[in-house]
Structure 1
Amino acid sequence: MHPRRAAAIIASAAARSARLAMTETALQRAGLDRANGLISCLTTDADNVFVTLTASGLNERLNIISRAERESSQPKLHRAGATSVICPPVLGALRVAQMLLRPAAAELLEMAVSSDDEVEIAKVDLTRLPKAWGQSLSELALPAKTGLLVVAVNHAAEGPKLNPTPDYRLREHDELIVTGTSSGIRMMMELYGE
C-alpha cells in the first residue's frame, strides 16, 4: 500500500475514534497488550498526554509516538511514556531551514519518503545480528550482498557516526541505519541473524 494512502486511512480512522481511544477499555479492546506500537495524534496536547500515560500504563514495552502542538509539551509526553514525540510546528521550521541550508539532503529525504519504490530507511539493532559482531563494514559487504547502504552507526556510548568508514568494526549494541529495499533488509537478517 502506498504510504500516502496508508496515512489517509489512519487519519480517517483516528478522527472517527479519537474520543474512544482515550478510554482504557477501548485501548484494551484494541489489543494494546499485544501491540508493538501506538500513535497518538489527537488535537490537543492534554489528550495526547492522557492517551500516552494510559497506554504506557497498560503496556510498558509499547513504542509510543505522540504528537505535540507546543514544543513545551514534548518533555511532558516523554514523562508520560512516549518513546518519540513529533511536534509539527518544529518539524516544519526545521524542514524549511534544511531546504535552504542543505537542499540536496532535503531533496534526498523527500525522494526516500515519497517514492513509490520500495526504498526505505531502517534502524537495525545489532543484538539481532550476532554473526555481524566483530566484522568491519567492508568485511560485511552489505552493498554487494544485500544492496543496502549503511548511512550511520549508532553506539550507546559513543553516539551516532554518520557515513562510517569501511574499517568500522560492528559491536553487539550498535544500531545500523541503512537504506535499501525491504527485501535487502530481510536478506541481511537471514545472513547475519541467529
Structure 2
Amino acid sequence: MESMEKIKIGIFVLFVVIISFSLMFMYIEGWTLLQAIYFSVATISTVGYGDFYPTSELGQLLTILFIVFGVSTGLYTLGAFAESFIGGYFKRYNRRIKMKKRIEMLENHYIVCGYGRIGRVVIDRLRESGLDYVAIDNNSEILQAEFEKDPNFNYIVGDATHDEYLIDAQIDRAKALISTVSTDSDNVYITLSSKRLNPKLYVVSKADEQVAMDKLLIAGADKVVSPYMIGGLRVAELAMKPGILDFVSTFMSIAKYEYDEDLEIRKILIGKNSKIRGKTLTESQIRYNSGVTIIGIKKENDLLVNPGPEIILEYNDQIYAFGTGEQLDVLESMV
C-alpha cells in the first residue's frame, strides 16, 4: 500500500475513533461535546492536562479502551507520515547520489545544454538510441520532474555558460556537446567555453538569427542548426514537392512500424587503416558485404551524388550511406 493511502486511512480511522468515543464520554460523564472532544484529543496525544477526567467506573473503562485504540491509530498515522516524508526524502536523496556517480563514470557521452522544447527532443532521441547523456539547465523543477518519471535521467542544475557545470558533466571525456539554450549569445559563450575545456569535443549549436550562425562557427562550433530555417525549408518543400516527401515519409514509416526496420542515412569517415581505403566502390564490395546503398561521397570540398562504381575511396572521404541501423553498423566495422 502506498504511503499516502496509509495516511488517508489513518486520519479517517483516527477521526472516527475520536468522534465515537467523545459521544460515549458525553453520554456517560455528562460532558458537553466540546469537553468530550477536548478530553479525547488531550488523551490520545498523551498530553493529559488533568482538568477533565472520567469519574465513573464505566467512563474509566472506556478511557482504557480509548487509549488502546486511539494511541495505536495515532502511532499508525504518525508512522505513515514518517514513511511518506522522511522515507521519501532519503529515497530521492539516494537516487540523486546514484545519478551523480553515474555522471562521474560517463565516457563518450553527450552533453545537452538547455532542457527546453528542442533539448527535450534531442534527449528523447539520445534515449531511443541508447546513448549516454547529461542535461544542464537552470530550471530545477523541470529537471526534477523528469527525474521523478525516469530514474535514469542524468541532469545538472546550473548555468551552462559557467565552466564548473560543464566540468561536472565530465566535458573532458564527452563525445559531443549540443547547445540549445534560449539566446544566441549564450550559445556562443557555451561553444567558446566547451572548446576551451575540450578542443576535441564535437559541438552542435542552435542559432535563431542568421548572423549568429557565422559567430558560432567562428567560436568553434562544428555544426550550427537554425530551427526556423529548417522548419521554413521543410514547409516550402512540402508545398512544392508534397508527393516526394510523402513517399519518403511513408516509406520510412512502413519500414519502422510494419517491418520493425529503422532506416537512416549515416555519414561515415574513412580512416587511415580502413580496409576499403584505396579501392573503388566496386572493389570495396560495400553493397555485397553490408547491404547499404551509397548515396553520396564527400571528397574535400566536392560532393559526389550517386557516385559511380569507379570512384576510389580515399582517406578522409565521407561516405553517406542509406540502410538499416544493423547494415550501417556493418559498414562502419568495415570502414
Q: Give the TM-score taking structure 1 as reference length.
A: 0.83
Q: Describe how 1:72-83 pairs up with structure 2 within 5 A.
A: 72-83=211-222
Q: Deviations over 1:149-175 (max 9, x none)?
A: 101000005x11111112212112211
Cα separation, 2, equivalents of 1:53 and 1:4: 21
Task: Find 1:163's aligned residue among 299, 302, 306.
Answer: 306
RMSD, aligned α-carbons: 3.0
Given residue 191 of structure 2, which amino acid in structure 1 is its aligned partner? T
Q: What is residue 38 of structure 1 aligned with on the other side?
A: 177
Number of positions where the alignment pairs a residue of Structure 1 with one of Structure 2: 189
The answer to whether 1:68 aligns with 2:207 is yes
Q: Describe how 1:1-194 pairs up with structure 2 within 5 A.
A: 6-7=124-125, 14=137, 16=143, 19-103=158-242, 105-107=244-246, 108=248, 112=252, 115=256, 117-127=261-271, 130-157=274-301, 159-190=302-333, 192-193=334-335
Gap regions ≥5 residues in structure 2: 1-120, 128-132, 144-155
Cα separation, 2, equivalents of 1:4 and 1:51: 17
What SS does the aligned partner of 2:307 have? coil
Given residue 163 of structure 1, which amino acid in structure 2 is its aligned partner? N
Q: Which moved more, 1:137-146 or 1:51-60?
A: 137-146
User: Which structure has the highest strand share of the two?
Assistant: 1
Cα offset for 1:120?
1.9
Cα separation, 1, equivalents of 2:295 and 2:244: 13
Gap regions ≥5 residues in structure 1: none
Q: Deviations over 1:66-93 (max 9, x none)?
A: 0011111101111111111111111111
Contact 1:119 1:181 in 2 (8 A): yes
What SS does the aligned partner of 1:151 have? strand
Q: Deviations over 1:15-59 (max 9, x none)?
A: 645743221011011010011100000011111111111111101
What SS does the aligned partner of 1:25 have? helix
Cα offset for 1:119?
1.8
Change (3 A) 1:102 1:140: farther
Cα offset for 1:138?
2.2
What SS does the aligned partner of 1:123 have? strand
Cα separation, 2, equivalents of 1:129 and 1:97: 43
What SS does the aligned partner of 2:278 have? coil
Contact 1:136 1:167 in 2 (8 A): yes
What SS does the aligned partner of 1:131 have? coil
Q: Give the TM-score taking structure 2 as reference length.
A: 0.50
What SS does the aligned partner of 2:159 have? helix
Cα separation, 1, equivalents of 2:126 and 2:175: 21
What SS does the aligned partner of 1:165 have? coil
Greater C-alpha radius of gyration: 2
Indicate the percent of aligned positions where both proteins have the same amino acid: 26
